[in-house]
Every structure is written in C-alpha cells, then in structure tokens.
C-alpha cells in the first residue's frame, strides 16, 4: 500500500498524456490510505478533490468524467446495500470486480510511466 499520494505536484511535459489519470490515482490512493488518515485530513482531502476546475467542460478529460461517473456509481451501490436494496452476494461480486479493475488500472499506469522513462530499445 502506497498511502495517499497528492497529485498537485508538478508534472514534467513528457508525462502530459498521463496527467488525466492523476485524479484517478489520487482517488485510489486516498481510499487505500483512509485507515491512516485523521477525520480532518479525510474531510479536507475529499473537499479538495471534489472541487470542479474552472471551465470543466474544457479542462476535464473524458477519462476523468468516466472515472467520476464510476465513483458515483460505487457510492450508489454502497447506498443500495445499506438500504437492503442490493443483496450482500451481489455487492461482493461488484466489489471483487471493481477491485480487479482498480488493481489493473494501477498496474497499467505504472507500465505506461515506465515505458516513458525507458526509451524503446
């Protein structure tokens, strides 16, 4: 587990095509690090992460829009389970599937970054 990784650090030009994945990695690391954060840190981070940028229709990438749609869907699944609309077995299947996708996303981003760091031979 990496813990929470803020993405507001400067990004070099050669990684600009990966920049749209920043909020995705930030949210994944935020969720991974929740156990180690105080209530104040959680609230502050969640508030900052959920602020819309200026001109979101021009500055948000399709990857970010799809990602936030996924977050919203996950929240609805959680709410449905708490309200006993969704059974525990189905919720576990959704959890397993989404965990697999989160793991795959992390690995894909690491692979993309390593490709850019090491020019092809």
Examine residue 67 and state whether it is found in any structural domain, yes or no: yes
Domain limits for position 81: 13-117
- How far apart (Å, rounded) are the C-alpha atoms in residues 100 and 64? 19
DSSP string, 33-79: TGGGS-HHHHHHHHHHHTPPPSSHHHHS-HHHHHHHHHHHHHHHHHH
Examine residue 107 and state whether it is found in any structural domain, yes or no: yes
The total number of structural domains that make up the chain: 1
Examine residue 71 and state whether it is found in any structural domain, yes or no: yes
pLDDT in tens, 27-64: 888 888 999 999 999 999 988 888 877 888 887 777 77
pLDDT band of residue 109 (cuts 50, 70, 90) is confident
Examine residue 44 and state whether it is found in any structural domain, yes or no: yes
- The pTM (predicted TM-score) of the whole model is 0.59
Altogether, the residues listed in the chain come to a count of: 121
Give the CA count within 13 Å in the CB-facing half-sphere of 11. Answer: 15
pLDDT higher at 117 or 87: 87
């Amino acid at each position: 587990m990496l813990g929470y990784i803020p993405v507001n650090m400067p990004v070099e030009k050669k990684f600009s095509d990966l920049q749209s994945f920043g909020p995705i990695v930030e949210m994944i690391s935020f969720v991974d690090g929740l156990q180690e954060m105080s209530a104040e840190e959680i609230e502050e981070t969640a508030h900052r992460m959920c602020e819309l940028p200026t001109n979101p229709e021009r500055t948000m990438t399709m990857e970010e829009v799809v990602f936030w749609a996924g977050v919203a869907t996950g929240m609805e699944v959680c709410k449905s389970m708490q309200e006993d609309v969704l059974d525990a077995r189905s919720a576990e299947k959704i959890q397993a599937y989404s965990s697999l996708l989160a793991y795959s996303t992390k690995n894909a981003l690491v692979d993309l970054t390593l490709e850019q760091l090491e020019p092809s031979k």
